[in-house]
Structure 1
Amino acid sequence: MRKVPLSKKQKRAEKIKKTLIHVGIWLLGLLIVIALGVFAVRGFGIKTVIIDQSMNPTLQNEDVVLLNKLSNKIGSPKRMDVVAVRIGASENSPTYVRRIIGLPGETVQIKDGKVYIDDTELELTFNDAAIENAGVAEKGETLGDNEYFVLCDDYNNNRDDSRLDSIGTIDSDQILGKVWLIRSPLSRLGLVH
């Protein structure tokens, strides 16, 4: 069978149809890229600025860090995660960056300069100095179902953590997200451990 040649009008209609398909695919791709960008910024691009020395040497004063807000929605915070926490109920309450050392249901005790979780010594790899002030954890602090015990990395020079009565244990809804990246200064760019 022989193919019947298309008329000029049919060729033009075919060309317009192909062009519309290409433009539609391009627009769909553009929408997907925009949606992924919004998702990434909303979930992983929330920035905060470190305003003290409490997390030295992991984080330093004036480091700009990015938070992963989705980490709490996907799973629970883990021991040794560095997190941003809001102390207080209002949006204007101070935000601190601290390290989680105690998880829900555990008993945290600081004695003889060391941290114990359920009577087992916890190795603190971020700071090997003995803890000089146990605060409320001296006798042991048992955490509730949604409570976490947070500690400064520079715990002997700073006490704005769960050792203070005024801060205490952190409820899961006070955790704003996991700190995952130092964005600036560029000389310190890298992942947070």
Structure 2
Amino acid sequence: MEAEEKKVDKKKDSILKDVLDMLLYFGTVMLVVLIIYNFVGQQVEVNGSSMENTLKNEDRLILEKISYRFNDPERFDIVVFRPYEEYKDEYYIKRIIGLPGETIQIIGNKIYIDGEVLEEDYGNEPMRDPGMAEEPIVMGEDEYFVLGDNRNHSTDSRYEVGKVKREAIIGRTFARIWPLSEMEILKHQ
């Protein structure tokens, strides 16, 4: 009888150990996923046409968060940011045009940075409305001016989004992973 009780006790101990091992495994996996999601990168989906022809509605992208921990965003980077502090779950994807300390103005479909025409060809058609940038806009410390590549169909720094603070930028787009036929590493410069 004692031998049977010892077998039952060993079996219970073995089951308990297996359950604890499984919980430890899943806990470790969840911790790694949370660390990657919060500090390394995440998947994002394009919602809308404001970045066409570069990015299309429903494209899926990998957003990397590491480089901006060590370097500042650069002109022409495609970034994901929170446009409004009160809406924590709303994200925009736009291209950085103006950097901290610069003066931005749009005159006759041309973008001027500190009085010099910006040579770029990301806009997919002539810009019809300069919005607030019809008058010079001075970027403060840690402020960026962003535009969608589909300039006539984009809510960006010309309108209510205004200047984007550095702390609102979540990361830089790294790669398009969907659709598979358009999978690529995204170019920023």
Q: Same fold (TM over 0.5)?
A: yes
Could you tell me the percent identity over the aligned residues?
A: 34
Structure 2 CA distance, aligned partners of 1:128 and 1:48? 23
1:159 equivalenced with 2:128 (yes/no): no
- Rg comparison, structure with higher value: 1
Equivalent residue for 1:187, pick from 151, 156, 181: 181
1:49 equivalenced with 2:32 (yes/no): no
For residues 114-158 of structure 1, give each alpha carbon's deviation from its aligned partner in whole angstroms, at most 9, with x where no partner exists. 1000010011222263211000000110000010000000002x1
Let me know the Cα RMSD of the aligned residues.
2.0
Preserved contact between residue 97 and residue 145 of structure 2 (Cα < 8 Å): yes
Tell me what 1:101 maps to.
97
Tell me what 2:135 maps to.
139
Q: In the superposition, relative to structure 1, how do residues 91 and 139 fare at CA in structure 2: closer, same or farther (>3 Å)? A: closer
Counterparts of 1:9-158 in structure 2, within 5 Å, are 43-90=39-86, 92-127=88-123, 129-156=125-152, 158=153
Tell me what 1:175 maps to.
169
Normalization by structure 1: what TM-score?
Answer: 0.75
For residues 84-110 of structure 1, give each alpha carbon's deviation from its aligned partner in whole angstroms, at most 9, with x where no partner exists. 010111463420000000000000000
AA in 2 matched with 1:95: Y
Q: In the superposition, relative to structure 1, how do residues 92 and 37 fare at CA in structure 2: closer, same or farther (>3 Å)? A: closer
Cα drift, residue 41 of structure 1: 5.9
Structure 2 CA distance, aligned partners of 1:180 and 1:77? 13
Aligned residues: 157
